[in-house]
Amino acid sequence: LTGVGLYDLERVLDPNEETNKHLVVAPPSFSVSYIGFNASEHPFKDSKFRQALNHAVDKGLIATEVMSDLIEPAYGILPPGFPGYNPDLQGLRYDPELAQRLLDESYYDDLSDADKRIVITVPGSGGTIGLDLEVVIEMWRQVLGIEVEIEQVEWATYLEDLNQNRFQAFAGLGWQADYPDPQDFLDILFHSESSINHGSYSNSELDSILEKARIEQNIQERIELYQYAEELIVQDAAWVPLWYTGDRYALIKPHVRDYAMTPMIVPKMKEIYIVD
């Protein structure tokens, strides 16, 4: 079995293609990719500036026209189908006029040229940064007039600096569920005292809600706390959530039976068998 990439998709989706009969469509995995901001550094200290960046990205257009619907736009943090997922969460959708207004209301124009400089660090060694990120950066330039620099660093260095919260902004990675509970996304990634809060995001109200949700024993009330926490995170634009990722299409040979495409990625090997 194998995943199907962007450059093979058109051929594999052709009903006349031999491999098409082996095609399996999978749900998005329990993972999310994003652009992270260091909320302790200019210009990302200003929530209106962060909100402007979110509203300037047309994720629907990128998903359909650039990525051939291999990805699903993310407007929240928790993936579809995940415990606590809120289908009513609207998020910060594409609105170029609102994006420009928020930029004007932010203190961005009052910053020095040095503080206006934006550098997004990604893992790599001189290769492509990803077509989706390239388009996002171009949208920021066209909608807001903001120029962004890209810095690529070797993977081990990237992880070391990420864990030390040394980046002004960062991309090229995502978060995948370790276990099916909203704490695994919202608390671990956004509580101010979490060691994996790589953007130094701090919100005392959010901390209080997350701490209460940890020990709430009523399941419905606990989910409501997490959904409120997610709303706070999204509206305050701690990130630019990008995509719910995973192999949307896969090819599985007919002699491989009962291989289920699961959103937690880990296949149920005990259920798989091979026939001659």
Whether 274 contacts 88, CB under 8 Å? no
Q: What is the pLDDT of residues 28-77, one digit of tens each?
A: 789 999 999 999 999 999 999 999 999 999 999 998 888 777 788 999 99
Q: Which of 70, 72, 74, 73 is nearest to 6 (CA)?
A: 70
Interatomic CA distance for residues 14 and 132, integer angstroms: 24
Interatomic CA distance for residues 206 and 125, integer angstroms: 37
Residue 13 pLDDT greater than 80, yes or no: yes
Cα–Cα distances in angstroms (integers) from residue 82 to residues 24, 201, 241, in the given order: 21, 23, 16
Residue written as token pair 């996002």:
136
Q: What is the pLDDT of residues 163-200, one digit of tens each?
A: 999 999 999 888 999 999 999 999 999 999 999 999 99
Query: What mean pLDDT do residues 84-113 have?
Result: 96
Interatomic CA distance for residues 149 and 169, integer angstroms: 10
- Which secondary structure element, helix H or strand E, spans residue 244, and what is its range? strand 239-244
Q: Measured between alpha carbons, how far apart are the two ends of the chain, in Å? A: 16
Residue written as token pair 């928790």:
78
